[in-house]
Structure 1
Amino acid sequence: MKKRRLLAAAGAPLALFSATLLASEKLYNFAFKRVDYVPETSADKQKYADAYWSYVDWLHRQPLQTWHLNVNDDENRLVATYVPAKTSSDRTVIISHGYKGDGETMANYAYMFNQMGYNVLLPDDRGHGQSAGQYISFGWQDRRDYLGWIKSVIKQNGSRTTIVLFGVSMGGATVEMMSGEELPDQVKAIIADCGYTSIEEELAYLLKRQFHLPKYPFVPIVSFINRHRMGYFLSDVSSVEQLRHNRLPIFFIHGEKDVYVPSWMLKKNYQAAGGPKAMWQVPNATHAESFWIGPADYQKHVAAFLDQYLSK
């Protein structure tokens, strides 16, 4: 009887530990594993569906080019769509898409920059769209992939070209993480819309908000899984740390009512950033809604920022 009690007492923590590992594995696959479709947008943005599809239709009518990186490497092959400006232009924007999106989902921003006279490059990040990759890196591997896209733009448009980096949500965090890299002189400015501070803080925040789960032990276990699968811990994936090394003009945009990437992350990113910087917190906008709530106003703010730093 005593032996059975001891076994039962020992078995309970083991069962809890096993259940925690299983839950963490499921969480990792849910959050990090690629999906080969674009999930439906949130309910609060369904009202913009017609406008969104009109931008996608516009994109498909353009004289598009398909670009590749690592074309002979099946595990690292990357794909992007290039939209030349209406008239010859020495300005190009590289647009980084959001979580589980792809380049096409940024058609509205492509249209905006096209109207402003820019060439537009729309990459599909690792684990998204037509690009290879089993897992989503939340900007960390992407920041280096984008160095390849920058080189491609310079090769296409010449050494005198001017490049702007722009991203929304995960894409905002991606360009924030790029800010800490050694970027070519052709890169003149960065615009980050609703990017998170770090994937560790974002995951912990969403675990609590959406699933009512604590950071510990789940985030450390997910981090360990990611180290095994992708080669780095979640604590490595930090916009804040990269922004400390930034020297380029950077414009932060964030919805005032964003509860997916909360506004305290905007303030933390802004405070960390080196270089010239500006911040626009958009009234009444939820996550990634700042453009949709007023496209003309959004374009006006973006253009005003860029006009300060790009030569006429």
Structure 2
Amino acid sequence: MKTKGKLKSKIAAALAVAVILLAAALAGVSNYLVTYAIGRSGDGGDREVALDVEATPDGVEAVIAANRAAFQDKADAFTAAHPGEDVSITSDDGLTLRGVYYANAGSHRWAIALHGYRGDHEGALRLAVPYYEAGYQVLTPDLRACGASDGDFVGMGWLDRKDILRWVDYIITKDPQAEIVIHGISMGAATTMMTAGEDTPDNVKAFVEDCGYTSVWDVFASELQLRFHLPEFPILYTASGVAKLRAGYTFGEASALAQVEKCNKPMLFIHGTADDFIPYEMMDTLYQAKPGDNKAELTADGAGHGEAVYALGDAYWDAVFDFISPYIE
């Protein structure tokens, strides 16, 4: 009997040690993934994997390359002629957030142009320049933990939505008659949609999202499989809890889909069929969730992630301005 008791005690102790070691390993992996994905110093932007996507139509890659090169020349000329004004605000949680303001004297039309994952305001120039040329005053923020803005963790749009509301207040203080369009790409598109679900001032007239994701959970679950060949359970669940402790939000609550369901203002959804980062199918899921008929979709055949503006060229901007013009005086 004593032998059996000792054996049971040893088994129980071994199991306890195994559970402790497993929990420690899971905590370590989760902590690493949070740093990797949303930590300012993380390497989550270095991506060498791809989803299986629709084949690129003949000639689209050449069009994208040509338009990208032409736009870079235009952007270089624009920033040389219009260096912009460095501006800043303070976030609700005390961070200094910075951006660049391109003044278009006398105009009450404004565009907030938002960059993508781990980018900065220069990544929004592909949006800023056409708005400026159309007579808009333009603001290009560095999202938190990006560019020159403070922050230890990337907000993935969720923390940034409150920051954009502060930028909206900044614009209205400068121009009480401002009519504002918010237009973002990738994480900037998620930020746009997450902001759209908040109670925005009447000055905010329309939203344009380009290749945004349904939720942080969805995109990280996809990336966890593609990059690490790991299932979302249990790692994404524990990593989400670590993110709550370290960054202040969970991956599940950071849902553009849930925010879009609360948006009654106009929204244009744009996505490329060859997007190998954010699945093209997410656009229609988001579109269907948006209430009302003040919405539209724009598909860029053969465009990869963030490439719709290059694949479509002038047609992209014709669609954007045709959509928002009824809502801007």
TM-score by length of 1: 0.89
Between the aligned partners of 1:89 and 1:140, the Cα distance in structure 2 is 30
Task: Compare 97-106 and 9-18 and name the one that shifted more.
Answer: 9-18
Relative distance call for 1:74 and 1:141 in structure 2 (3 A) is closer
Alignment of 1:83 with 2:89, yes or no, is no
For 1:229, the aligned partner's letter is R
Relative distance call for 1:7 and 1:41 in structure 2 (3 A) is closer
Tell me how large the CA RMSD over aligned residues is: 2.8
- CA displacement at 1:55 relative to structure 2: 4.4
Alignment of 1:174 with 2:194, yes or no, is no
Between the aligned partners of 1:230 and 1:99, the Cα distance in structure 2 is 16
Q: Which residue of 1 aligns with 2:319?
A: 301
- CA displacement at 1:161 relative to structure 2: 1.8
Q: Kindly indicate whether the alpha-carbon contact (under 8 Å) linking 1:37 and 1:129 is maintained by their aligned counterparts in 2.
A: no
Task: Compare 45-54 and 236-245 and name the one that shifted more.
Answer: 45-54
Q: Percent identity?
A: 32
> What's the secondary structure of 2:297's corresponding residue?
strand
> What's the secondary structure of 1:268's corresponding residue?
helix
Q: Which residue of 2 aligns with 1:64?
A: 84
Between the aligned partners of 2:101 and 2:275, the Cα distance in structure 1 is 30
Superposed, 1:94-243 pairs within 5 Å as: 94-157=112-175, 159-243=176-260
- CA displacement at 1:95 relative to structure 2: 0.9
TM-superposition CA deviations, 1:139-168 (whole Å, max 9, x none)? 1111111111111111222x2221101000
Relative distance call for 1:196 and 1:33 in structure 2 (3 A) is same
Relative distance call for 1:142 and 1:55 in structure 2 (3 A) is farther
For 1:186, the aligned partner's letter is N
Q: Which runs of 5+ in 2 are unaligned?
A: 1-5, 50-60
Q: Which residue of 1 aligns with 2:34?
A: 28
- CA displacement at 1:300 relative to structure 2: 1.2
Return the structure number with greater relative CO, CA threshold 8 A, min gap 6.
2
Relative distance call for 1:140 and 1:60 in structure 2 (3 A) is farther
Superposed, 1:9-24 pairs within 5 Å as: 10-24=16-30
Out of 225, 241, 253, the residue aligned to residue 270 of structure 2 is: 253
Between the aligned partners of 1:155 and 1:38, the Cα distance in structure 2 is 36
TM-superposition CA deviations, 1:38-83 (whole Å, max 9, x none)? 9689899995764464344222430411111129x99511111001
> What's the secondary structure of 2:285's corresponding residue?
helix
Task: Compare 204-213 and 181-190 and name the one that shifted more.
Answer: 204-213
How many residue pairs match? The answer is 308
For 2:198, the aligned partner's letter is E
Q: Kindly indicate whether the alpha-carbon contact (under 8 Å) linking 2:111 and 2:181 is maintained by their aligned counterparts in 1.
A: yes
Relative distance call for 1:113 and 1:69 in structure 2 (3 A) is same
TM-score by length of 2: 0.85
Task: Compare 300-309 and 49-58 and name the one that shifted more.
Answer: 49-58
For 1:269, the aligned partner's letter is L
> What's the secondary structure of 2:221's corresponding residue?
helix
For 2:21, the aligned partner's letter is A
For 1:29, the aligned partner's letter is T
Q: Kindly indicate whether the alpha-carbon contact (under 8 Å) linking 2:181 and 2:204 is maintained by their aligned counterparts in 1.
A: yes
Between the aligned partners of 2:245 and 2:193, the Cα distance in structure 1 is 25
Between the aligned partners of 1:206 and 1:38, the Cα distance in structure 2 is 10
Q: Which runs of 5+ in 1 are unaligned?
A: none
Between the aligned partners of 2:26 and 2:93, the Cα distance in structure 1 is 34
Q: Kindly indicate whether the alpha-carbon contact (under 8 Å) linking 1:56 and 1:105 is maintained by their aligned counterparts in 2.
A: no
Q: Kindly indicate whether the alpha-carbon contact (under 8 Å) linking 1:82 and 1:122 is maintained by their aligned counterparts in 2.
A: yes
Q: Kindly indicate whether the alpha-carbon contact (under 8 Å) linking 1:56 and 1:104 is maintained by their aligned counterparts in 2.
A: no
Task: Compare 117-126 and 40-49 and name the one that shifted more.
Answer: 40-49
